[in-house]
Structure 1
């Protein structure tokens, strides 16, 4: 465990997105008490973070809920930091509208096979047997526009900008899941913490991260100002809206509704053979 000037170094790995930047603003700018820990940001796309978590690389990391069963031996889920699509979520977009039943016969660009968006797509299609190509999430809209694929599975701020690019939504997987489950949010991302840190450290870091999220929600304007540099050319209005979609009361704490959503999401995936094992879900 790295120690710097007498402080334990905690690497916090997350996506270079406005919602994650918003969450960690208070830590990065020392707006809250960090209890003697030295927090260091590590920025990478979510699929890379999923792969790094398989190796137990970082002390704290954002990962896809889809990836959690594969890292549950090394990590516990933090009870804060969730990204949930509450009647909205990853979308399948295309240049022209077509019936969703045709998706099984289309080539779909996906942002990674360990993403929750990919697992939600498998659940929606009811099969693993479909044509897809893994493309970095921020290049999927371009690939669809250029006709390299028939459709694209978009995550992050693409959900608010695809129409500006002249694309249409074929299916909103968050909306589909909400209707299918009688009102549950679609679990997309969560923060995990390495178990080898020990219970006491895990609980302290959990509390610090929760306080950081609460601070940003209570000081929204300054936190959004900071997050804008990660908003990839979105207007302030769109960035603020996007942050509100994925940093809210479910992010402060999963609550019973959020926990139930994760359990059902992974249980269905396991029963249909899309994941190999169903872990015990422990929240810190």
Structure 2
């Protein structure tokens, strides 16, 4: 079976057991490591593997062809995207007419940013510039862009770049809605079937990771893009939680809230919400 997920610590932690043949009855995997921006577009072009990790923000575009698997993803609290600036530029209004770098225009992070700017900056920012994630903080620091939208381990490292936090979009979302943030989703081609089997295999891999957290660390660090072990472990602690094990009613409600609100704002196409659960 072909599977694509990012090299980020949370994904390698979750899928370590399955990728290493440690789940009874699970098929052997052919793994592609790819940033979520790539898998988002693979899903939309129907060119990706049968199973992959994408952003929840991309799900409405592919929901007719892919089924949401209710585990293995990233959804939680205290783990939201950050908007960073340089030089203490601390007011949302200061972004009017400015250039903001983002890692993807089809990501949950960008969707949250658009919802936040709609509420806080009615006049909008000037220009959105899509950049590789690892280039954003240096670009903000060097003044090549006015602000940057960052995710994942940047939460722990932006201070090293001398950057300032304008807003934690996770805090804003949780205060505004009361829900955790839906970030990354595991999807499978509807033509594949096997929703129940996939759910069981992924949940077994997650449980193995929780039961033996040190077993995956060599694999995690092999793909951790030069981050320290401490940062990798913090990353895992933030993004692997109860919703990774099972989306559950609270998780589904959070997804429906985010995507429903985005559809109302015209940020994504309208779609049949019932397909999130079928």
With normalisation by structure 1, the TM-score equals 0.91
CA distance in 2, matches of 1:129, 1:270: 18
Once the two structures are superposed, residues 217-260 of structure 1 have per-residue CA deviations (whole angstroms, 9 ceiling, x without a partner) of: 11111223321222222222221111110011111111211111
CA distance in 2, matches of 1:132, 1:31: 43
Which position in structure 1 is the counterpart of 2:276? 282
Aligned residue among 11, 14, 37 for 1:23: 14
CA distance in 1, matches of 2:134, 2:188: 27
Matched, 1:124 2:116: yes
Which position in structure 2 is the counterpart of 1:67? 58
Once the two structures are superposed, residues 56-108 of structure 1 have per-residue CA deviations (whole angstroms, 9 ceiling, x without a partner) of: 22100100000000000110110001212413311011122221232233210
Residues 68 and 277 in structure 2, CA contact (< 8 A), matched pair in contact too: yes
Deviation at 1:279, TM superposition (A): 3.1
Which position in structure 2 is the counterpart of 1:110? 102
Unaligned runs of 5+ in 1: 1-9
CA distance in 2, matches of 1:128, 1:251: 37
Instruction: Tell me the C-alpha RMSD between the 2 structures.
Output: 1.6
Structure 1 window deviating more from structure 2 (257-266 vs 136-145): it is 136-145
Aligned residue among 204, 217, 221 for 1:224: 217
Aligned residue among 179, 182, 187 for 2:182: 187
Matched, 1:167 2:159: no
Matched, 1:42 2:32: yes
Residues 21 and 28 in structure 2, CA contact (< 8 A), matched pair in contact too: no
Which position in structure 2 is the counterpart of 1:267? 260
Residues 78 and 238 in structure 2, CA contact (< 8 A), matched pair in contact too: no
- Structure-2 change in CA distance of 1:34 and 1:150 (3 Å): farther
Which position in structure 2 is the counterpart of 1:256? 249
Unaligned runs of 5+ in 2: none
Which position in structure 1 is the counterpart of 2:148? 152
Structure 1 window deviating more from structure 2 (262-271 vs 252-261): it is 252-261
Deviation at 1:128, TM superposition (A): 9.5
Deviation at 1:129, TM superposition (A): 4.8
Matched, 1:88 2:79: yes
Question: What secondary structure does 2:214 align onto?
Answer: helix
CA distance in 2, matches of 1:30, 1:208: 11
Structure 1 window deviating more from structure 2 (94-103 vs 49-58): it is 94-103
CA distance in 2, matches of 1:128, 1:64: 27
Deviation at 1:24, TM superposition (A): 0.6
Structure 1 window deviating more from structure 2 (261-270 vs 48-57): it is 48-57
- Count the aligned residue pairs: 271
Aligned residue among 97, 117, 139 for 2:135: 139
